[in-house]
Every structure is written in structure tokens, then in C-alpha cells.
Amino acid sequence: MDYRDKNIIITGGLGFIGSNLAIRTVGLGADVTIVDPSIEGCGASLENIQPVRDRIRLLPLDIGQAGEFAGAIAEADVIFNLAGEISHLHSMEFPERDLEINTTSQLRFLNVCKSENPKARIVFAGTRQIYGVPEYLPVDESHPINPVDFNGIHKYAATMYHLMLSRAGFLDAVVLRLTNVYGPRMALHVPSQGFLSTFLRKLTIGESLEIYGDGEQLRDPVFVEDVVDAFLLAGSEPRLRSRTYNVGGPEALSLAEIARICSSAAGAPAPSRRPFPEVLKAIDIGSYYTDTALIERELGWKPAIRLAEGIAMTLAYCRKQPVA
Amino acid sequence: MDYRDKNIIITGGLGFIGSNLAIRTVGLGADVTIVDPSIEGCGASLENIQPVRDRIRLLPLDIGQAGEFAGAIAEADVIFNLAGEISHLHSMEFPERDLEINTTSQLRFLNVCKSENPKARIVFAGTRQIYGVPEYLPVDESHPINPVDFNGIHKYAATMYHLMLSRAGFLDAVVLRLTNVYGPRMALHVPSQGFLSTFLRKLTIGESLEIYGDGEQLRDPVFVEDVVDAFLLAGSEPRLRSRTYNVGGPEALSLAEIARICSSAAGAPAPSRRPFPEVLKAIDIGSYYTDTALIERELGWKPAIRLAEGIAMTLAYCRKQPVA
């Protein structure tokens, strides 16, 4: 994993995962270019890259405007493609906006990558959402695709662009399908970024947590530094063209247990319970946790940080931030 | 299957399959509205609906303009949704156009259906293309999704819109995944409409056929009247919400055998052979034929017309048409 003097592009690099990746790759000696138009609702913040602000190049452009930074694309060794919006609920309210951000812009971007630099390794941030309601657990990469919202459909179209163009020899892309990611620089003050964002936001402003229903659904949250490791491996291993890997956490925990761990780490009271809201029922997927055997076998990646430890680090980071 | 006095909308109703469906449903006593903007390259032709022209309502609009015919949508009992483009090669050359036609317009259309008439049965014309290179034969509905071109990706996104919105209770859609369809009103004079269109065009203008490579790839062409039957069943059976059915032909035949049958029906010389063109190699999927057990079991549908018979009827129709 030698990133020294490598030309790296990070799309969505002002967002949660992208900014952590930017900080790490700068530390490894890479020349980092961030492409991020700071679209509202996507979690972008200049604050996120504050530690490396003067050592990266920031292009405040949408990836759909890739023609305007074709030169940077032509010189890239690795492109970490994290641009996009992740909100389930927002996508159901504004599906055309979600299509534009998550599909149309990706199509335009990849067409420029294809013509300017077909040999650059692209690592695309996919999502476990596309599996929908799990038909079995843990969920591996062969699980049927059944998105439960527009966001999942549009992310999956972008995933297929990467894979189809790579299989046909026009790109060299790898797709990571991420489960619930948490950690420093998470967008706590943007609506509908997932339950962990809600939990941490409440705890940082002194509210106690609520669990909907019985809270027995399982999840396997993964700490952002573990996810950054997966991106770095996927960005540097040869011969991965058109491979897909699930990326998940080290433990399958119930939402109630996750809420208890978060509350305890924050010194907050135990979570309370309330009925499941109707609006969320339609897109609830029950239990989900990840089969990470493939990425462990092929890339030697394993999540290292357990939830209690990761949440403590996240809360410590959040406490040092100005309250939005 | 009582279509008498039913309000039917057929999107793409000036095209090959849509026009056959229009003629049949008019014959069954339905009130038929065709929505078709006659986009170049999609095979639309007024000639196709000539036998019923004065008994249908024609709205020359794109389905993306659904707001302009929301009243018709509100009154529909069944919507046969066949709008779209099917060209593999064209989609690779003009992917944004393909996205607009096959995905964005469908999103706009379905959002109007959702708000105006969530109870109308929608039957969507999907495609076997989304399965990509078959991992096993015959291909059933659980086969993995691996589109080999932009057209397959965009058609699949539209498929997922139908299924996701139906599972969530916002629509009542059924998806038919069609293999190679042939028959009267096929678009013979539009480029890249598939090998059967090419075969029949050549034969109608007196050229002999060419087979690329060994011609051993299997296909199961299905006659358009069989496909119309499948649409009529899927449009009228209750409790099919969010179901998907493969629709294929009665015989798996090699391309060489198909060419021989077509040539023989036309009284043309036997097909010749030539090397496989590079541009087609990238998107060749090898052999494909359909497992139709599910639609047979659940809807009682079986393809009735064998290739030799169907091709004879198709050529008889073509000979009566003005040469374009």
C-alpha cells in the first residue's frame, strides 16, 4: 500500500468518509485532489478537512462537470469515488434530485474517466442498501438485489456503471458495499443520515436515546478508520477489476444494544422505547449484518474496532467540535 | 381476461409490441389510449396502428410529460408500459440519451401514476438483457443481474422503480422480462434492433443472411402474438403486485439454425459465414434461453407459435408493407 507521491482524486472528499480518507492519504504522502460541490444534505464540510486543508487541492465541482477537471482525471493513479447522497427518506421525497446526484452525475463522470484515464483504479462507495430486506444472514455479495427506496435503485445503477464498464475493459473499478459507517466527521447535523447519526447527534446535545419498537433488529456498524483501510487496499491491489466486496463491522448487535453502548459511552441515561413510526415502517429492512469473508480472503481486510471503542473515539471527536 | 370497455393506456404503443397489443385490445372492446412521442430509433410508426387508427386515442407525448396526461392516467384500468429504446449499441454510444429515455422518463411517469392512480395495474416490458452472460441455462427469474451495456442498466433501474414502488404499496405493477421478440410490425428499418430484425430486413430486400462466427449461440425467439397474450394475462390477473415473469419462446435454437429457418421461409439461399465483428464481441452474451416455468405455473401462459410458423407469418406481413 504505497501511496507516496500518488495522484489521488477523492470525489465527495468533504463528506464523512471522504474526508477521513483525505486525511489518511495526505499522511501517507499522496497528492490529493478533492472534488466536492458541497451539495446541501450530503454532509460536506470544510471543517472536515481542516487538518490537511493546505496540503490538498479542492475543486468545488460536481462530478457531473467532469469535463472541467479532465486534466486531473487524466493524471490520477487512484480515484476514490464517494460522491453522492445517502438519505433513504430524502430520496423518496425528491427522487429526481436523487437520480441526478447518484446516477446521472456518475454516468457523466465515468464517461470522462473512460476517455481520459481508463487505467486508473476507481474505488466506488456502494451501499448494502441495495440488498433490501435480507433473505438470509449474514449477507454476502451474491445476495439478490432488492432496493427498498429510490436511493438504493440509483446507487445500484451507479454500481452497475462501474462494473459493466470495467468488465468491458473501459475502466478498472472496484466496488465496496458499505454497511452503517460511523466515526469522526460523521454528518450529525444533516437529516436522515441513518440511525447512528441520530443517536450521536442526540447524545452530543444532551438528549437521551429512543428505540423504535423492540429494537431487536441487528446491525454491524463499522468504524470509519476500518473503512478507510478497505478503500486503501482496494485502491492499491492489482487485478481487482470489476470486483465487488461487502464491508461490514466486527459485531452484529441489536439496535437496542447499540443504543445502550452509545448511551453508556456518553454517560447518558438508558434508552427509552416508543412505537415504530409509520413513515419508517415502509423502508425498514429488519436485521442486517455482513458476510465479510470475501474481502478478508482476497484483500486481507478485517474490521478491527469494536463498537464501544469506536463510539468513545467518535464522541471524543464530536465534543471538540463547535456545536452546529 | 375481460377487456371490454376497460380503459387501457399503452405507452410506446406505436412501436412493435405496443401496436400489436393496441390492435388486439381494440378487438377485445377496450378503450385504448396510446402515448408515444415517436422518438427516432424506437421503432414507432403510425403505419403500425393503421387497422385501428380511428378507434384509439393517440397522445404524441413522452411518458416523462405524464403531468400533461394525468387525467388519462387517473382513469386507466390497465397501463401497458412499453415505452423505451432497446438498442444495445446505441446505448453505448449515447448513454445519456438512453438514461433519459429509459430511466428518467419512467421515473417521472411512475410518480404521476403513483399520485393519480395507484390501483391501476401496470405491466412493464422488461428485458432479458439485464441477466447479462447467463451463468446457467435456462435462465429463470432468480438469475443474477449483470447487464452488459447501458441499455440493460437503465432498463433495470426502471424495472426496480416498478417493483420497489409496488412492494411499498404505491403502485400495482408486474414486470415481464422479454427475450427476442419477432413478428409483424417489427422495426426492420431502424438500426440495432437485434439480429432477427437484421435477418428479416435483409430477406425482405432480397439479401442473403450472414452468420458471425460459428453461430452456435442459442436463442429462443418468441412470436409477438404470444407476447401479447402474456401482457393480457399479466394485465388482468388479480394479486400479481410486484411479480416478475420471464417470457421466452417455445424452442432453443442456434443462430445458425434460426438463420436457416428464416432463409428457407423466404426462399433465399442458405446463410454464409463471416468472422465475429470486434464491436459486437464486447457485448455478446453467448447462449440464452428462457425458463418460463413460473409464468406457466402462475398465469397459465405458454408460447404457442414455433419459429418456422411465426417467421412465415412475419414475412407475409412484411411483403404487404411499402418498402422503406
Interface test with A, best of B153, B155, B156, B167 (most A CBs within 10 A): B153
- Pick the closest to residue A126 from A99, A153, A100 (CA basis): A153
Determine contact: A99 vs chain B, CB below 8 A: yes
pLDDT grade for B319, boundaries at 50, 70 and 90? confident
pLDDT of A211 reads 94
pLDDT single digits (tens) B161-217:
999 999 999 999 999 999 999 999 999 887 777 899 999 999 999 999 999 999 999
**Which of A89, A94, A102, A103 is best to mutate for the B interface (most B CBs within 10 A)?**
A103
Q: Is A315 on the interface with B (CB under 8 A)?
A: no
Instruction: Give the Cα-Cα-Cα angle B292, B298, B300 (nearest 5 degrees).
Output: 75
Q: Does B64 touch chain A (CB under 8 A)?
A: no
| DSSP code of residue A238 | S
Chain A nearest-CA residue for B160:
A153
- Please indicate if any CB of chain A lies within 8 Å of the CB of B27: no
pLDDT band at B283 (very low <50, low <70, confident <90, very high): low
Which of A96, A100, A124, A164 is best to mutate for the B interface (most B CBs within 10 A)?
A164
B154: chain A residues, CB-CB within 8 Å = 157
Query: What percentage of residues in chain B have a pLDDT greater than 90?
Result: 86
Select the residue of B142, B153, B168 nearest A157 (Cβ to Cβ): B153
At residue B310, the pLDDT reads: 98
A95 in B contact zone (CB under 8 Å): yes
The answer to whether the CB of A34 falls within 8 A of the CB of A7 is no
Look at A161 and B153 and tell me if their CB atoms are within 8 Å: yes
The closest CB to that of A164, out of B99, B104, B149, belongs to B149
| Of B80, B179, B191, B75, residue with least CA distance to B131 | B179
Average pLDDT per run of 10 along chain A, which is 324 residues long?
95 97 98 94 90 97 97 98 89 95 98 98 96 96 94 97 95 97 92 86 93 94 98 96 97 97 96 87 85 98 98 94 64
User: Which of B107, B145, B152 is opposite residue A99, by nearest beta carbon?
Assistant: B107
CA distance B212 to chain A (A): 20
Q: Which residue has the cell 423505451?
A: B84
d(CA B182, CA B198): 11
How would you label A32-71 residue by residue, b for 16+ Cβ within 10 Å and e otherwise?
bbbbbbebebbbbbeebbeebeeebebbebbbbebeebee
Give backbone dihedrals phi and psi of A183, rounded to 5 degrees, phi first. Answer: 145, -175
CATH number, span A7-182+222-249+289-304: 3.40.50.720
Whether B283 sits inside 8 A of A167 (CB atoms) is no
pLDDT tens digits for B287-318? 999 999 999 999 999 999 999 999 999 999 99
Per DSSP, A201 falls in state: H
Q: Please indicate whether, in this complex, the C-beta atoms of B148 and A164 are within 8 angstroms of each other.
A: yes
Spatial contact of B288 and B148, defined as CB atoms under 8 Å apart: no
Structure confidence at residue A323 (pLDDT): 57
Task: Tell me the per-residue pLDDT of B84-102, one tens digit each, with 9 for 90 and over.
Answer: 988 888 899 999 999 999 9
Backbone CA torsion sign across A178, A179, A185, A187: positive
B33, B63 in Cβ contact below 8 A?
no
All residues of chain A having their beta carbon less than 8 Å from the beta carbon of residue B103 are 99, 103, 157
Question: To the nearest whole angstrom, how far is the Cα of B71 from the nearest Cα of chain A?
Answer: 22
How many residue pairs bridge chain A and chain B with CB atoms within 8 Å of each other?
A: 70
Q: Do B282 and A142 touch (CB under 8 A)?
A: no
Beta strands in A100-248 (DSSP E): 121-127, 172-178, 181-182, 210-212, 218-219, 222-223, 244-247
| Cell representation of residue B25 | 385490445
Contact A142 B147 (CB under 8 A): no
Residue of B nearest to A111 (CA): B95
CATH value of B7-186+222-250+289-305 in 3.20.10.10, 3.40.50.720, 3.40.980.10, 3.30.460.10? 3.40.50.720
Determine whether the interchain pair A156/B154 forms a contact, defined as Cβ–Cβ distance below 8 Å: no
Contact A104 B111 (CB under 8 A): no
Q: Which residue of B has its CA nearest to A108?
A: B96
Q: Does B169 touch chain A (CB under 8 A)?
A: yes
Domain ranges of chain A: 7-182+222-249+289-304
Residue type at A318 in one-letter notation: C
Q: Which chain B residue's Cα is nearest to A281?
A: B168
Q: What confidence score (pLDDT) does residue A321 get? A: 80
State the Cα–Cα distance between residues B187 and B84, nearest whole angstrom: 14
Contact B157 A152 (CB under 8 A): no
Q: What is the 3-state secondary structure (H, E, C) of chain B?
A: CCCCCCEEEEECCCCHHHHHHHHHHHHCCCEEEEECCCCCCCCCCHHHHHHHHHHEEEECCCHHHHHHHHHHHHHCCEEEECCCCCCHHHHHHCHHHHHHHHHHHHHHHHHHHHHHCCCCEEEEEEEHHHHCCCCCCCECCCCCCCCCCHHHHHHHHHHHHHHHHHHCCCCEEEEEEECCEECCCCCCCCCCCCHHHHHHHHHHCCCCCEEECCCCCEECCEEHHHHHHHHHHHHHCCCCCCCEEEECCCCCEEHHHHHHHHHHHHCCCCCEEECCCHHHHCCCCCCCCECCHHHHHHHCCCCCCCHHHHHHHHHHHHHHCCCC
Query: What was the ipTM of the complex prediction?
Result: 0.93
B147 to chain A, any CB pair closer than 8 A? The answer is yes
| Substitution target from B150, B162, B171 for chain A, most A beta carbons within 10 A | B150
Distance in Å, alpha carbon of A282 to nearest chain B alpha carbon: 6
Do the Cβ atoms of B160 and A156 come within 8 Å?
yes
Contact B153 A169 (CB under 8 A): no
**Contact status, residue B146 vs residue B132, Cβ threshold 8 Å:** yes
Contact check, Cβ <8 Å, B157/A153: yes
The answer, for B95 touching chain A at a CB cutoff of 8 Å, is yes
* Contact with chain B for residue A131, Cβ under 8 A: no
Question: CB-CB: which of A99, A160, A163 is closest to B104?
Answer: A99
Q: Does B152 touch chain A (CB under 8 A)?
A: yes
Alpha-carbon distance of B121 to A310, in angstroms, equals 49
Of A111, A31, A107, give the one whose Cα is nearest residue A75: A31
Testing the interface with B: which of A109, A153, A163, A280 to mutate, by most B Cβ within 10 A? A153
Task: Write out the E strands in chain A.
Answer: 7-11, 31-35, 56-59, 78-81, 121-127, 172-178, 181-182, 210-212, 218-219, 222-223, 244-247, 253-254, 272-274
CA angle A245, A193, A234 (to 5 degrees): 20
What pLDDT is attached to residue A51? 96
The most distant pair of C-alpha atoms in chain B lies apart, rounded to whole Å, by 56
Supply the pTM of this predicted model: 0.94
| Nearest residue in A to B109, CA atom | A96
The CA angle B134-A113-A164, to the nearest 5 degrees, is: 5
pLDDT score for B322:
67
